[in-house]
Amino acid sequence: MFAHRPVSRFRDPLNRSRGPGGVLLPALLFLICSSPASAQVAAPAAGAALRPDTPAPVWLDREGKPLPFTNTDELLDFLRTARVVRYREIRGITRPYEVQLEKNGIRMRGAFNYATEEKAIVTLQRTGTQIGFRDTYLFNLAAYELSRLLGLDNVPPAVERKVAGKRGALSAWIENAMEEATRRARKMEPPDVEHYNRQVYVMHVFDALIENTDRTLENVLIGPDWKVWMIDHTRAFRRSPEPKNLEALEHCERGLWEKLRTLDEAVVRERLKKILRRDELEALLQRRQKLVEHFQKLIDERGEENVLYTLP
């Protein structure tokens, strides 16, 4: 659909090399961090943004059988109120848990993160020195709430609750998924490279918006339907008003662009004021404005058909 730049040949915003089959490697860091070793669902059309006529994802139990949730609110209620049957620590710097949940005969897994680290200054392997460093489970909640406002359905639903006496964020588990690191190691190619790359580009734009400094090979999950899931946002929502690598973002999914452009800041403030600090929230809104201005400029210069694209 792009006369000059087909989506399947998107330039990687971070100028990474390409993976098997010419697949764009996402904006990935190479530090192992907290994320489930395997994850969650079978959803509708892979990576599709939520529209009014789009069904909610079909969530699965550990055996791969569909769970009886008819909408996302039912799933969120289950995550808040289901009994914790057992839990175990899984790989990750913040030592997250895989949690087994049960309620009214329904069983489901969740991923629990309780990170709560804060330092005035810190030097990290990939991102260097950061002032006002905060690594917190609250950012998983903020990422999910923001994704809903943007019409996205590829951030796992998350709620705040206690597990094993610790307060944290409990997210729905993506069953039968693999990490991007695994896909690369196995040299697996998506059945539709262009569609996969378009999903990756949605992730690039979302990460620029939330200033996610920790998108690793391990916190990009790929469902059995090749839907790309974004997990683990505990090191997002930094306080810089400038989106990183803005000049490299050349395309935006049409539905995401419309949501970005028309996002009601009053609604964002109301939904996130109890999760983000004031400076984090203000920086987010400033980055949103910069992204809107950036893509509008590209549309004016190149034409809408050469900047925007539509996922099925």
**Which tens digit of pLDDT belongs to each residue from 224-258?**
999 999 999 999 999 999 998 899 999 999 999 99
- Please give the C-alpha separations between residue 248 and each of 27, 32, 44, 98, 157, in angstroms, as whole numbers: 11, 25, 30, 36, 29
Q: What is the pLDDT of residue 34?
A: 30
Cβ neighbours around 213 below 10 Å, total: 21
pLDDT tens across 97-152, in order?
A: 999 999 999 999 999 999 998 786 666 666 656 677 799 999 999 999 999 999 99
Q: What is the pLDDT of residue 129?
A: 66
Q: What is the pLDDT of residue 57?
A: 73
Q: What is the pLDDT of residue 38?
A: 32
Q: What is the pLDDT of residue 92?
A: 66
Q: What is the pLDDT of residue 5?
A: 34
Q: What is the pLDDT of residue 211?
A: 96
Q: Which two tokens stand for residue 163?
A: 């597990």
Q: Which residues of the chain have pLDDT under 70?
A: 1-56, 92-94, 120-130
Closest CA to 152 of 275, 1, 253: 253
Q: What is the pLDDT of residue 52?
A: 36
Give the position of tokens 């580009």: 201
Q: How far is CA 235 from the centre of its chain?
A: 12
